Structure 1
Amino acid sequence: MKNRPDIGETVEWLRGRGYYGGQITHQLVEKGQAAETADIDVSDPVSVALRQSGISSLYSHQVEAIGAVQSGENVVVATPTASGKTLTYVVPGLERAIENTGKTLYIAPYRALINDQADTFEAFDTELGLGASIDIGVQTGETSRTVRQEIKGSQPDVLLTTIDQLHLSLLPYAHGKNHWRWLFQQLDTVVIDEVHMYRGVFGSHASLIFRRLNRLCDHYDASPQYICCSATIGNPVEHAATVTGQDETTFRLVDDDGSASGDRHWLFWNPPLKQDGDEDRSITDPAVDADGTVRAGHDEHPPEQIAAAIDTAPSSTIDSQAEPDGSSEPADEITLPSHQEVVGGERQSNHVESVRLFCDLVTRGYQTLVFTAARQGTEQYVDWSDKMLRDRGQHDLADSVHAYHAALNTDRRLQLEEELRSGDARGVWSTNALELGIDIGTLDVVLLDGYPGTSMSTFQRAGRAGRGEDACLVVLVGADDPLDQYTIREPEELFESGAEQAAVNPTNDAIRPDHVVCAASDHFLSPDDEDYFGPDLPSVVTDAEANDRLRRVESGDRIQWRATDSDVQWNTNIRAIDDREIDLIDRNRDEQLASLEFGAAVRDAHPDAIYRHQKQTYRVVELDLESDQALLETTSTAEYTRALREKSVTIEDTYRQSSVETHEMDAQATLGKLTVEDTVTGYLLYSNPSDDTPRECEFEEPLESRAIETTGVFITVPGDVEAMILDQVESQDEYLSALHAIEHALISLFPMEVLCDRGDIGGLSTVSHGQTTNGTIFIHDGHPGGAGLTRQAFNQLDVLLEKTFKLLQDCSCRDGCPSCIHSPHCGNANRSLNKQLALQLLSELK
Structure 2
Amino acid sequence: MVDFGEFLQYIKEQEYYDKQISYIEHIPKKVAHFGTLKKPLRKRLQRWLNENKIELWGHQAEAINNIREGKNTVVVTSTASGKSLCYNLSVLQTILDDDSNSTALYLFPTKALARDQYFVLSKLMSDMNIKTERVGVYDGDVEPYEKRQILANANVIITNPYGLHFYLPWFKQKWSRICKNLKYIVLDEIHIYRGIFGSNFSLLLRRLKRILETYSIKPIWILSSATINNAKEFAEKLVGEEFVVINKDDSPSGAKKVILWDLPYDEISHKYRSAHQETKNLYVSHLKKGIQTLTFTLSRKMAELQAIWTRQTLSQLRDRIVSYRAGISKQKRREIEQDFKNKRLLGISSTNALELGIDIGSLDATICSGFPGTISSFKQQIGRSGRGEEVSISTLIPMANPLDFFYVHNPEILFGPIKEEVLITQNNKYILKNHLCCASKEIPIKIDDYQKFGIEKKEFFIKCLKELVKDSLLMKRGDRYYWKGDFFPNEKFGLSNLSDRTFKVILRREGREEFLTAEDESYVFRDLHHGAIYLYEAETYIVEELDNEEKKVYIAKADVDFYTQSLKHTEITPIEILSQKNTGPNNKIEAFFGNVKVEHEYYSYKVIDTLTQEIRDRIPLLDIPIVEFETHSVWFLIPYELQKELELNDYDLGGTVHAIEHAMIAMSPTLAQISRWDLGGLSIDFDPVKQQPIIYIYDAFRGGIGISESLYYNLMELLELTYKLIKSCNCGEPNGCPACIMSPKCGNNNEPLDKKGALFILKKLLAI
Could you state the TM-score of these two structures normalised by the residue count of structure 2?
Answer: 0.92
Shift of 1:546: 1.6
Among 742, 748, 764, which residue is 2:660 paired with? 742
2:740 to 806, 811, 820: 820
Which one-letter code corresponds to 1:91 in the other structure? L
Q: Do the aligned partners of residues 693 and 260 (structure 1) sit closer, same or farther apart at CA in structure 2, a change above 3 Å counting? A: closer
**Cα deviation per residue 1:488-533 (whole Å; 9 max; x = unaligned)?**
1111221124241101001111110111121111112123312212
1:228 counterpart = 2:228:
no
Note the alpha carbon deviations across 1:545-566, whole angstroms, 9 max, x for none. Answer: 1211112223xxxx22211236
Partner of 1:113: 113
Cα gap change, 1:96/1:593 in structure 2, threshold over 3 Å: closer, same or farther?
closer
SS at match of 1:468: coil
Matched to 2:177, the amino acid is: W
Deviation, structure 1 residue 95: 0.7
Q: 2:498 aligns with which of 577, 595, 599?
A: 577
Between structure 1 and structure 2, the one with the greater Rg is 1
Change (3 A) 1:552 1:677: same
**Cα gap change, 1:13 to 1:126, in 2 (>3 Å):** same
Q: Distance in 2 between matches of 1:822 and 1:651?
A: 26
Higher mean C-alpha displacement, 140-149 vs 71-80: 140-149
Aligned to 1:553, which of 455, 477, 484?
A: 477
Q: Is 1:35 the counterpart of 2:32 in the alignment?
A: yes
Structure 1, 612-621 or 543-552: larger mean CA deviation = 612-621
- Amino acid across the alignment from 2:302: G
In the other structure, the counterpart of 2:91 is 93
Q: Residue 680 of structure 1 is aligned with which of 602, 608, 629?
A: 602
Aligned to 2:275: 350
Q: Following the alignment from structure 1 to structure 2, what is the Cα–Cα distance between the partners of residues 612 and 600?
A: 13
Indicate how the Cα distance of structure 1 residues 42 and 611 shifts in structure 2: closer, same or farther if over 3 A, else same. Answer: closer
- The residue type equivalent to 1:120 in the other structure is V
Contact 1:716–1:773 (Cα < 8 Å) also in 2: no
Counterpart for residue 581 of structure 2: 658
The Cα shift of 1:772 comes to 4.5
Distance 1:434 1:614, change over 3 A: closer
Question: Hey, what does 1:515 align to over in structure 2?
Answer: 435
Residue 371 to residue 748, structure 1, CA distance change in 2 (3 Å): same
Q: Contact 2:581/2:590 (CA < 8 Å) preserved in 1?
A: yes
| Cα displacement (A) at 1:723 | 2.7
**Per-residue deviation at 1:15?**
2.6
| Match runs of 1:246-285 below 5 Å | 246=241, 250-274=242-266, 276=268
Q: Which moved more, 1:677-686 or 1:529-538?
A: 677-686
Structure 1 counterpart of 2:699:
781
**Superposition deviation, residue 475 in structure 1:** 0.6
1:713 matches 2:634: yes
Conserved 8 A contact 1:97-1:158: no
CA contact (8 A) 1:640 1:689 kept: no
- Between stretches 522-531 and 208-217, larger displacement belongs to 522-531
In 2 relative to 1, CA 629–133 (structure 1 residues): closer, same or farther, beyond 3 Å?
A: closer
Q: Does 1:426 align with 2:426?
A: no
**Cα offset, 1:827, TM superposition:** 2.1
Q: How far is the alpha carbon of 1:588 from its aligned partner?
A: 9.8
Deviation at 1:45, TM superposition (A): 2.2
Q: For residues 615-646 of structure 1, what are the alpha-carbon distances to aligned partners after superposition, in whole Å with 9 as ceiling and x for unaligned?
A: 99998675432234556799999998654311
Q: Deviations over 1:164-200 (max 9, x none)?
A: 111111x211221xx0122222211111101111110
| CA displacement, residues 666-718 of structure 1 (integer Å, 9 cap, x when unaligned) | 2122221222221113456789998989887666x763022222222112111
* Aligned partner (choices 793, 808, 811) of residue 711 of structure 2: 793
Tell me whether 1:450 sits opposite 2:362 in the alignment. Answer: no
2:13 is matched with 16
Does structure 1 conserve the Cα–Cα contact (< 8 Å) formed by 2:326 and 2:537?
Answer: no
For the 8 Å contact 1:682–1:702, the answer to whether it is kept is no
Q: Is the 8 A contact 1:681 1:702 kept in 2?
A: no
Question: Against the structure 1 CA distance between its residues 49 and 620, is the aligned structure 2 distance closer, same or farther, given a 3 Å change threshold?
Answer: closer
Question: Which of 671, 687, 691 is residue 593 of structure 2 equivalent to?
Answer: 671
The residue number in structure 2 matching 1:409 is: 329
Shift of 1:420: 1.7
Q: Give the aligned residue type for 2:181.
A: Q
CA–CA distance in 2 between the matches of 1:66 and 1:614? 36
Deviation at 1:28, TM superposition (A): 2.4
User: Which residue pairs with 1:326 in the alignment?
Assistant: none
**Alignment match of 2:314 (pick from 367, 381, 389):** 389
Equivalent AA in structure 2 for residue 719 of structure 1: Y
| Shift in alpha-carbon separation, 1:778–1:601, aligned structure 2, 3 A | same
> What amino acid is the match of 2:45?
V
Q: Secondary structure at the match of 1:38?
A: coil
Give 1:81 shift: 0.5
| Between 821-830 and 26-35, the greater mean CA deviation after superposition | 821-830
Question: In 1, Cα distance between the equivalents of 2:609 and 2:63?
Answer: 59
Is contact 2:71-2:243 (8 Å) kept?
yes
Contact 2:634–2:711 under 8 Å retained in 1: no
Q: How many residues align?
A: 753
Aligned counterparts of 1:718 and 1:750: Cα–Cα separation in 2: 23
For the residue of structure 2 that corresponds to 1:440, the secondary structure is: coil
8 Å CA contact retained: 2:327, 2:538? no
- Do the aligned partners of residues 691 and 492 (structure 1) sit closer, same or farther apart at CA in structure 2, a change above 3 Å counting? closer
Counterpart CA distance in 1 for 2:59 and 2:610 is: 55
Instruction: Provide the residue aligned with 1:157 in structure 2.
Output: 155
SS at match of 1:174: helix
Letter in 1 for 2:590: Q
Q: 1:762 to 1:688 in 2, by over 3 A?
A: closer
Report how far residue 267 of structure 1 moved. 0.8
SS in 2 for 1:551: strand
Distance 1:592 1:389, change over 3 A: farther
Match of 2:644 in 1: 723
- Give the letter aligned to residue 759 of structure 2: L
Counterpart code for 1:262: G
TM-score for both structures, normalised by structure 1: 0.84
Instruction: Show the counterpart of 1:399.
Output: 319
CA distance in 1, matches of 2:542, 2:112: 35
Q: CA deviation at 1:365?
A: 1.2
Q: Indicate the SS of the match to 1:418.
A: helix
Q: Secondary structure at the match of 1:20?
A: coil
Q: How has the CA–CA distance of structure 1 residues 444 and 245 changed in structure 2, closer, same or farther, with 3 Å as cutoff? A: same
Distance apart, 1:724 and its partner CA: 2.4
Once residues 131 and 543 of structure 2 are traced to their aligned partners in structure 1, the CA distance between those partners, rounded to angstroms, is: 62
SS of the residue aligned with 1:151?
helix
- Report the Cα offset of residue 361 of structure 1: 0.5
What are the Cα deviations for residues 537-583 of structure 1, in whole angstroms up to 9, with x where unaligned?
Answer: 222222211211112223xxxx2221123611111111222542254
CA distance in 1, matches of 2:323, 2:610: 27
Aligned-residue offset at 1:792: 2.6
Q: Distance in 2 between matches of 1:268 and 1:97?
A: 48
Quote the sequence identity (%): 29
- Say which is worse superposed, 804-813 or 596-605, in terms of deviation: 596-605
CA contact (8 A) 1:402 1:428 kept: yes
Letter in 2 for 1:601: V
- Counterparts of 1:838 and 1:686, CA distance in 2: 28
State the Cα distance separating 1:214 from its structure 2 match: 1.5
Q: Kindly indicate whether structure 1 or structure 2 has the higher relative contact order, using CA contacts under 8 Å at least 6 residues apart.
A: 1
Query: CA 1:662–1:457 in 2, change beyond 3 Å: closer, same or farther?
Result: same
Assess, with a 3 A threshold, how the Cα gap between structure 1 residues 410 and 81 changes in structure 2: closer, same or farther.
same
Amino acid at match of 1:656: S
Q: What is the CA-CA distance between 1:203 and the residue it aligns to?
A: 0.3
SS of match in other structure, 1:476? strand
SS state at 1:819 partner: coil
The equivalent of 1:79 in structure 2 is: 77
Alpha-carbon deviation of 1:276? 4.2
Question: 1: distance between equivalents of 2:353 and 2:290?
Answer: 24
Q: CA deviation at 1:604?
A: 3.8
Offset of residue 471 of structure 1: 1.4
Change in Cα spacing, 1:217 to 1:595, as seen in structure 2 (3 Å) is closer
**Residue 606 of structure 1: how far off its partner (Å):** 3.7
